[in-house]
């Protein structure tokens, strides 16, 4: 029987199959079958999933969603899993390409975070048309409730929501996306020290199959005190919102940010890298989720 890669259909059976693969691989999702089903049934703007079925049984899945940051939208290939019994059949690359075909309707770029030691996953992304962007990072996370409650910054540094993009444009790595603010899921906080601009933090709220949290997408500060204050403000915001965790990909060499995060209770999950691609992928037309019948593969 051929392998079928298709979009999640919204059924309990699909959710059960997906969660069974998650349990056999990551085994980290705190959600029930009903919660997974609801999470993946929120329409085109929400989190999406694609399933690989072998002999009618879910053998793998990929989950993805769009984020909208200061530099524009990105299609996040967030979670990729193939059941150990189905490895070696090329399912991972096919799932990635199916998700990327949908993402091309929503963003011009896609990315994924992959652990440095996860060579199998990195190879699957590269076969699908992604590349390593050459920026090794350390992934740090903080789970509210596992440490003392974060305090808001002291009086030396004031942190507040940005009134407009003009407050941070000089610090951005590229031109900001038109209409980036206001945007649901994006928060931009600015720091002032001694009445002068001292930095900003860009926060992206996400709902994944493993947690509800915030990503520190970018953070720039002119002083250590401002940097710490911005992280404190991000932690306090996450705790007040009842989020499960807050995470950051810290580029190798950014010692000041790494030290600030570690001093405030963040934990390192190890070395990770970004796998990136321009959308649409070569040879993959933009799609809203067609079913694809695939022959057996070697990867």
pLDDT value of position 173:
85
Predicted TM-score (pTM) of the model is: 0.92
pLDDT value of position 253:
95
Percent above pLDDT 90 for the chain: 84
pLDDT value of position 181:
82
Q: Write the pLDDT tens digit of every residue in 72-90.
A: 999 999 999 999 999 999 9
Structural domain spans, the chain: 3-134+276-294, 139-274
Domains 3-134+276-294 and 139-274 fall in the same CATH topology: yes
pLDDT value of position 147:
63
Between 12 and 148, the higher pLDDT residue: 12
In this structure, the chain runs to a length of 299
- pLDDT band at 115; cut points 50, 70, 90: very high
- pLDDT band at 254; cut points 50, 70, 90: very high
Q: Which one is the CATH code of 3-134+276-294: 2.40.50.500, 3.40.630.30, 3.20.20.70, 3.40.50.150?
A: 3.40.630.30
- pLDDT band at 296; cut points 50, 70, 90: very low
pLDDT value of position 246:
98
- pLDDT band at 167; cut points 50, 70, 90: very high
DSSP codes joined into one string, the chain: --EEEEE--S-HHHHHHHHHHHHHTT------HHHHHHHT-S-TTS-EEEEEEETTEEEEEEEEEEEEETTEEEEEEEEEEE-GGGTTSSHHHHHHHHHHHHHTTT-SEEEEEEETT-HHHHHHHHHHT-EE-S--EEEEEE-TTSSSPPPPP-TTEEEEE-S-GGGTGGG-SSPPPTT-SS-TTEEEEEEEETTEEEEEEEEEEEE-SS-EEEEEEEEEESSHHHHHHHHHHHHHHHHHTT-SEEEEEEETT-HHHHHHHHHTT-EEEEEEEEEEEESSPTT----S---EEE-----
pLDDT value of position 179:
78
Q: Write the pLDDT tens digit of every residue in 40-59.
A: 999 888 999 999 999 999 99
Residue 290 predicted with pLDDT over 50: no
- Average pLDDT of the chain, as a whole number: 92
Q: Write the pLDDT tens digit of every residue in 95-106.
A: 999 999 999 999
Residue 250 predicted with pLDDT over 80: yes
Q: Domain 139-274 adopts which CATH fold?
A: Aminopeptidase (3.40.630)
Mean pLDDT of 3-25: 98
Residue 151 predicted with pLDDT over 80: no
pLDDT value of position 292:
47
Residue 165 predicted with pLDDT over 80: yes
Least confident of 27-31, 113-117, 174-178, 284-288: 284-288
């Amino acid at each position: 029987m051929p392998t079928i890669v298709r979009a999640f259909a919204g059924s309990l059976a699909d959710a059960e199959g997906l969660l069974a693969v998650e349990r056999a691989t990551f085994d980290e999702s705190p959600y029930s079958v009903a919660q997974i089903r609801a999470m993946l049934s929120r329409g085109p703007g929400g989190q999406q999933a694609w399933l690989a079925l072998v002999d009618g049984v879910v053998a793998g899945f990929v989950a993805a969603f769009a984020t909208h940051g200061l530099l524009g939208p990105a299609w996040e290939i967030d979670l990729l899993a193939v059941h150990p019994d189905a490895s070696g059949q090329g399912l991972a690359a096919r799932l990635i390409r199916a998700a990327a075909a949908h993402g091309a309707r929503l963003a011009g770029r896609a990315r994924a975070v992959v652990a440095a030691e996860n060579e199998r996953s990195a190879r699957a992304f590269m076969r699908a048309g992604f590349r390593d962007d050459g920026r090794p990072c350390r992934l740090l996370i903080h789970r509210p409730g596992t440490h003392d409650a974060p305090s808001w910054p002291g009086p030396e540094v004031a942190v507040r929501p940005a009134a407009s993009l003009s407050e941070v444009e000089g610090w951005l790595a590229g031109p900001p996306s038109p209409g980036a603010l206001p945007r649901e899921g994006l928060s931009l906080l600015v720091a002032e020290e001694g009445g002068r601009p001292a930095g900003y933090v860009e926060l992206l709220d996400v709902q994944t199959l493993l947690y509800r949290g915030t990503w520190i997408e970018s953070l720039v500060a002119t002083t250590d005190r401002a940097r710490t204050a911005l992280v404190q403000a991000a932690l306090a915001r996450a705790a007040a919102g009842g989020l499960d965790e807050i995470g950051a990909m810290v580029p190798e060499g950014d010692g000041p940010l790494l030290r600030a995060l570690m001093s405030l209770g963040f934990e390192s999950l190890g070395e990770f890298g970004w796998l990136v691609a321009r959308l649409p992928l070569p040879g993959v037309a933009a799609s809203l989720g067609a079913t694809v019948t695939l022959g057996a593969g070697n990867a």
